[in-house]
C-alpha cells in the first residue's frame, strides 16, 4: 500500500512518482489529488486501514488538472460520494482538452497517450476554486493561486496546522526542483509561484511528487526563492 504517516492527521499514499495525501480528522477524510492509475486501490486500502468507510471521504481537492493528479478522481468520487474541487482556469485540463503549445506539446502528447491507455473519465467537479476561497475541511483550508504549471494551479493552506500543499510548483527528492518547461503552461509564472510558496509562513510544505519537506528544507526553499533569476 505504501502509506506513510506524516503527522497523526496526515498520511501520504502512492509511489515515489506521485502522492495522494489524506487529511484526517473527526469529520472525515479529505484527499489532495487522486494519483496515478495504479493508486486507486491504494487509496481505498489506506482509508480502510484507518478504520474509515468510503463515505468518510468528504472531498477530493485537485491542485491542478494534469492527468497524473485527476486520473482517479472520477472513480474515487463514485466510490465515496465525495465532492470534487478543482481550480478555475483548469477546466480544459481536467477535461483532457487543453491546447498545449510550443515545447509543452510534449506534455499534451504524453497526456493524450495516457488518457487513451486508461480510458480516462473526467470527474464531475462540484466547485471550481479561485484564490482566497475558504474550504470547511481539516479545520479550514485556504485556496492559494499558484499558476504556471497549469493555467489555474492552486495550493491549499492550513493556517491552523501551518502546512501548505503545493501540488507541482516544485518537487523534492535529493534536491528542490521546479518542473521542466515541457510540463508547464508558463514557466515564468512557475518561478513566481515558487517565490509565493516560499514566502508563506508554514512549518511543512507538501508537494505532490516525492517527499514532503521539513522546516529546514522550507528554509532552503526560501533562500532559493530569494536568489535573483538569471537574465534571459
Domain annotation for the chain: domains and CATH numbers: 3-226 (3.60.15.10)
Q: How far apart are the first and last CA of the chain?
A: 45
Helix (H) or strand (E) holding 42: helix 40-49
pLDDT of residue 101: 79
Average pLDDT, the chain: 88
Residue 55 grid coordinates:
463515505
Residue 131 grid coordinates:
484564490
pLDDT tens sequence across 104-145: 777 777 777 777 777 888 999 999 999 999 999 999 999 999
Separation CA 225–CA 194 (nearest Å): 7
Q: Which residue has the cell 485556504?
A: 142
pLDDT under 70 in the chain at which residues?
1, 16, 174, 211-232
pLDDT tens sequence across 143-172: 999 999 999 999 999 999 999 999 999 887
This prediction's pTM: 0.90
Assign 3-class secondary structure to 116-174: HHHCCCCCCCCEEECCCCEECCCCCEEEEECCCCCCCCEEEEECCCCEEEEECCCEECC
Amino acid at each position: 500500500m505504501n502509506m506513510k504517516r506524516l503527522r497523526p492527521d496526515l498520511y501520504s499514499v502512492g509511489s515515489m512518482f506521485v502522492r495522494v495525501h489524506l487529511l484526517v480528522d473527526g469529520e472525515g477524510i479529505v484527499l489532495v489529488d487522486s494519483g496515478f492509475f495504479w493508486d486507486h486501490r491504494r487509496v481505498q486500502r489506506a482509508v480502510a486501514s484507518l478504520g474509515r468507510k468510503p463515505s468518510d471521504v468528504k472531498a477530493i481537492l485537485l491542485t491542478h488538472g494534469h492527468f497524473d493528479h485527476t486520473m482517479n478522481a472520477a472513480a474515487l468520487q463514485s466510490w465515496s460520494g465525495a465532492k470534487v474541487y478543482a481550480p478555475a482556469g483548469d477546466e480544459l485540463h481536467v477535461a483532457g482538452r487543453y491546447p498545449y503549445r510550443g515545447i509543452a506539446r510534449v506534455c499534451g502528447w504524453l497526456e493524450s497517450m495516457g488518457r487513451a491507455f486508461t480510458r480516462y473519465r473526467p470527474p464531475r467537479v462540484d466547485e471550481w476554486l479561485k484564490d482566497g476561497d475558504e474550504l470547511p475541511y481539516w479545520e479550514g483550508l485556504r485556496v492559494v493561486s499558484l499558476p504556471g504549471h497549469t493555467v489555474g494551479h492552486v495550493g491549499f493552506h492550513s493556517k491552523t496546522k501551518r502546512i501548505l500543499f503545493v501540488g507541482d510548483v516544485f518537487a523534492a527528492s535529493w534536491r528542490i526542483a521546479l518542473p521542466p518547461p515541457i510540463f508547464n503552461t508558463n514557466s515564468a509564472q512557475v518561478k513566481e509561484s515558487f517565490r509565493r510558496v516560499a514566502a508563506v509562513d508554514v512549518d511543512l510544505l507538501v508537494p505532490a511528487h516525492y517527499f514532503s519537506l521539513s522546516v529546514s528544507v522550507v528554509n532552503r526553499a526560501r533562500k532559493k526563492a530569494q536568489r535573483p533569476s538569471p537574465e534571459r
